[in-house]
Amino acid sequence: MPTTSTHLWQSPKFAIERIEDEERGALIFRFRGAFAANEMYGVLKPLAVVNIFDFDPAPGKELPGLNIFDITDVPTLDSSGLGLIISHFIRCRARGVRVVAVGVSPNVMQLFKFTRTDSLIPTAASIEEAFAVPRS
C-alpha cells in the first residue's frame, strides 16, 4: 500500500506522526506518549498547533475520506489535546470526512465518556477495524 509518513511533532514525552494511505483514501495520525497539547503551545504558535492536523490534498489529489486518530500508545490525554481532536473532528465533518479514534485506552475512554466525545467520534480497536466503521 503506498504510504507517506511525516513526523508532525516530536518531544521527549510525546510524538505525532502523519501517515497518508493513498490507496485507501485515509490519513492516519499516530500518537505516542501522554498527549499534553499544552506542551506544544509553549513551542509552536497557537495557530500552528490548531492547524497541525490540516489535510488539504495536493493539487490533483482527492480529499481523504477518512481520518484515523491512532491513540493506541497514548496512556493519558489532557483537555487541550482533547480540544485539538474535537476541533479536527468538526473540520472533518464539515468537509464530509469521517473520523475514527482507534486503540482508545481505558483512561482516555473515561475522558471521552465524561465529555461525551464518545457520542461524537466513533472508536475502533484497530486501524483495520476503523475502515469498517460506518458513517455516523
Q: What is the pLDDT of residues 110-121, one digit of tens each?
A: 999 999 999 999
Report the distance separating Cα 88 and Cα 96, nearest Å.
12
CB-facing half-sphere around the CA of 45: CA atoms within 13 A = 3
Residue 130 is predicted with a pLDDT of: 97
Q: What is the pTM of this model?
A: 0.89
The DSSP string of 53-113 is: G--PPPTT-PPPSEEEEEEEE-S-B-HHHHHHHHHHHHHHHHTT-EEEEES--HHHHHHHH
Query: Could you report the per-residue pLDDT of 44-89, keeping only the tens digit for each?
Result: 666 676 678 887 777 888 889 999 999 999 999 998 889 989 999 9
Residue 136 CA to residue 20 CA, distance in Å, equals 23
- Show the cell assigned to 28: 492516519
Can you tell me which residue has the cell 516530536? 10
Question: Does the pLDDT value for residue 18 go beyond 80?
Answer: yes
What was the pLDDT predicted at 47? 63
123 and 101 Cβ atoms separated by less than 8 Å:
yes
State the chain's mean pLDDT as an integer: 89
Q: In the numeric block, which cell numbers belong to residue 31?
A: 500518537
Q: Check pLDDT > 70 for residue 1.
A: no
Contact 36, 26 (CB under 8 A): no
> What gap in Å lies between CA 17 and CA 39, rounded to an integer?
17
